[in-house]
């Protein structure tokens, strides 16, 4: 039986597996991609992969990947930037070129995410769940200046969203057509399944003394797949009643956690406009809340406080109201998926990676992602002394949809559902207006994992 990693990652937990598993995963898929590439060239030696297909000619890729390939190859600027990415990327990269990347994507989008087993230097098997497989492929590629230019382009993200939406539709389909396996096919108790012993331990990391079945609503708790008819049904699973209770729900001075998440940052006196693209990744409310649409709210929140925490792909993925109040507005902002602020690698104080390690730039770019990524924005008018609260659900990597569950003028209680993410990973922020003095709970510390509905802090009553 494979072991789990001996050192559990914190800051990158659920996103970056151990180096052995990460490299083994890429090597496995790159090998299959190279073989598919070789077979295609052997059948069609005179047709370049980036050339338009003659009528009746079989495409080299699955439909969604082929459409993405056509969009990139049909645009000299986008294709040129992709070629530069492979020149600039770290020597640790195992994907040599754009053509290999496409064949690699073929293998990923034809199946649901799964557990992966690699072999460590001592010849021992080691396994981890791979919740965001496309992100693992793009991780090093994104940490380049060429990717910074390409991955922020609207037309690139339109093309990429079509690919992600296609994969997301498959993952939500309980009756996926051939050549796809059932989208719940990796929800089983084998060593490569999400309910195998090792993977289940990962899913139960932050569940306290309860098991997965005691924590989550499972349609059939004794079945191999726990009764989940699709991957998306598993990903958007709900809690059992009472496992995440709201303490003191009528207390207007308390702020509760909106997501099951790990604390990233707290920033005070945030500005309406700031230089979010610099190394410090300052929060810029005007840009976070979508320019003109959120301007009125941004002006009210300028000078206030931002709390940000991120969700692991292994976490619970629904959002809940941190306060009691009324929904003033709710909308979704399109954005990027794999764009990051390129950096020099992990810093000297990184708890998980060696200094200079180029992996994980997406996790280190979370402040910047609040203005660049696809995201859901919700404004809640709470009672005094809290008042206006902004919530942003930030899609990271392969999040196909930020789905809203509330609408304007709807009353909400603490703990009511606001919306959810569909597959992938994510982050979120809570924004409080100036003058709201928050005493944070002792548990609110960077890299600490907090349960949804737990108390984040206490707001001081306003002085008369």
Torsion, Cα 357 359 364 365, to 10 degrees, reads: 130
Contact present, 350 and 159 (Cβ < 8 Å): no
Contact 301, 308 (CB under 8 A): no
Q: What's residue 15's pLDDT?
A: 84
From residue 130, give the alpha-carbon distance in Å to each of 89, 195, 301: 22, 13, 38
pLDDT per residue, tens digit, the chain (464 aa), is 444 333 344 557 678 898 999 999 999 999 999 999 999 888 887 777 777 777 777 889 999 999 999 999 999 999 999 999 999 999 999 999 999 999 999 999 999 999 999 988 898 889 898 999 999 999 999 999 999 999 999 999 999 999 999 999 999 999 998 889 999 999 999 999 999 999 999 999 999 999 999 999 999 999 999 999 999 999 999 999 999 999 999 999 999 999 999 999 999 999 999 876 656 678 999 999 987 789 999 999 999 999 999 998 899 999 999 999 999 999 999 999 999 999 999 999 888 899 999 999 998 998 899 999 999 999 999 999 999 999 999 998 887 689 999 999 999 999 999 999 998 779 999 999 999 999 999 999 999 999 999 999 999 887 66
**Which residues, other chains included, contact 325 with Cβ-Cβ below 8 Å and sequence gap of 6+?**
380, 381, 382, 383, 389, 411, 412
3-state secondary structure (DSSP) of residue 456:
strand
Q: From CA 366, how far away is CA 261, in angstroms rounded?
A: 13
Distance CA 100, CA 107 (A): 11
Cα→Cα distances 7→13, 52, 214, 355, Å:
10, 48, 26, 17
- Rounded to whole angstroms, what are the CA distances from 326 to 230, 293, 412, 458? 34, 19, 6, 20
Q: Using the Cα atoms of residue 439, residue 443, residue 447 and residue 452 in order, give the sign of their dihedral.
A: negative
242-245 contacts: CB < 8 A, separation 24 or more? 243/210, 243/214, 243/215, 244/415, 244/451, 244/452, 244/453, 244/454, 245/453
Closest CA to 439 of 254, 181, 217, 285: 254
Q: How many other C-beta atoms are found inside a 10 Å radius of the C-beta of residue 247?
A: 12
Q: What is the pTM of this model?
A: 0.93
According to the model, what pLDDT value does residue 398 have? 82
3-state secondary structure of 29: helix
Taking residue 220's Cβ as centre, other Cβ atoms within 10 Å add up to: 11
First to last CA, the chain: 65
CATH for 254-337+373-459?
2.70.70
| Structure tokens given for 10 | 């914190």
Quickly list DSSP for 420-448: EEESSEEEEEEEE-TT--EEE-TT--TT-
Domain ranges of the chain: 1-235, 254-337+373-459
């Amino acid at each position: 039986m494979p072991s789990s990693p001996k050192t559990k990652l914190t800051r990158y937990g659920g996103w970056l597996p151990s180096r052995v598993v990460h490299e083994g995963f890429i090597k496995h898929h790159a090998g299959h991609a190279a073989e598919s590439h070789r077979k295609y060239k052997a059948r069609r030696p005179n047709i370049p992969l980036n050339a338009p297909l003659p009528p009746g000619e079989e495409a080299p890729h699955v439909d969604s990947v082929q459409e993405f390939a056509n969009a990139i190859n049909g645009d000299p600027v986008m294709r040129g930037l992709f070629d530069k990415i492979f020149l600039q990327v770290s020597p640790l990269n195992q994907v040599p070129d754009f053509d290999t990347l496409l064949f690699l994507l073929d293998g990923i989008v034809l199946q649901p995410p799964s557990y992966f087993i690699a072999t460590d230097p001592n010849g021992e098997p080691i396994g981890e769940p791979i919740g965001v497989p496309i992100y693992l492929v793009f991780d090093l590629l994104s940490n380049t200046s060429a990717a910074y230019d390409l991955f922020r382009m609207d037309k690139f993200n339109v093309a990429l969203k079509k690919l992600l939406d296609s994969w997301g539709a498959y993952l939500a389909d309980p009756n996926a057509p051939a050549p796809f396996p059932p989208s719940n096919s990796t929800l089983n108790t084998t060593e490569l399944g999400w309910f195998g012993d090792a993977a289940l331990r990962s899913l139960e990391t932050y569940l306290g003394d309860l098991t997965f079945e005691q924590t989550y609503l499972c349609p059939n708790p004794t079945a191999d797949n726990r009764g989940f008819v699709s991957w998306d049904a598993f990903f958007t699973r709900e809690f059992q009643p009472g496992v995440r209770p709201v303490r003191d729900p009528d207390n207007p001075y308390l702020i509760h956690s909106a997501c099951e998440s790990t604390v990233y940052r707290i920033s005070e006196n945030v500005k309406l406009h700031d230089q979010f693209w610099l190394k410090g990744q300052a929060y810029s409310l005007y840009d976070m809340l979508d320019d003109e649409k959120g301007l009125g709210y941004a002006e009210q929140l300028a000078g206030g406080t931002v709390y940000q925490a991120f969700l692991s792909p292994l976490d619970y993925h629904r959002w809940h109201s941190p306060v009691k109040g009324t929904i003033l507005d709710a909308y979704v902002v399109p954005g990027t998926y794999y764009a990051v602020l390129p950096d020099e690698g992990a810093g000297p104080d990184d708890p998980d990676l060696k200094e200079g390690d180029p992996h994980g730039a997406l996790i280190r770019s979370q402040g910047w992602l609040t203005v660049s990524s696809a995201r859901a924005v919700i404004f809640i008018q709470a009672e005094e002394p809290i008042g206006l609260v902004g919530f942003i659900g930030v899609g990271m990597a392969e999040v196909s949809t930020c789905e809203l569950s509330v609408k304007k003028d709807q009353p909400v209680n603490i703990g009511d559902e606001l919306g959810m993410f569909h597959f992938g990973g994510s982050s979120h922020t809570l924004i409080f207006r100036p003058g709201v003095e928050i005493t944070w709970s002792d548990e609110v510390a960077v890299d600490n994992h907090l349960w949804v509905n737990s108390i984040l802090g206490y707001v001081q009553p306003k002085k008369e």
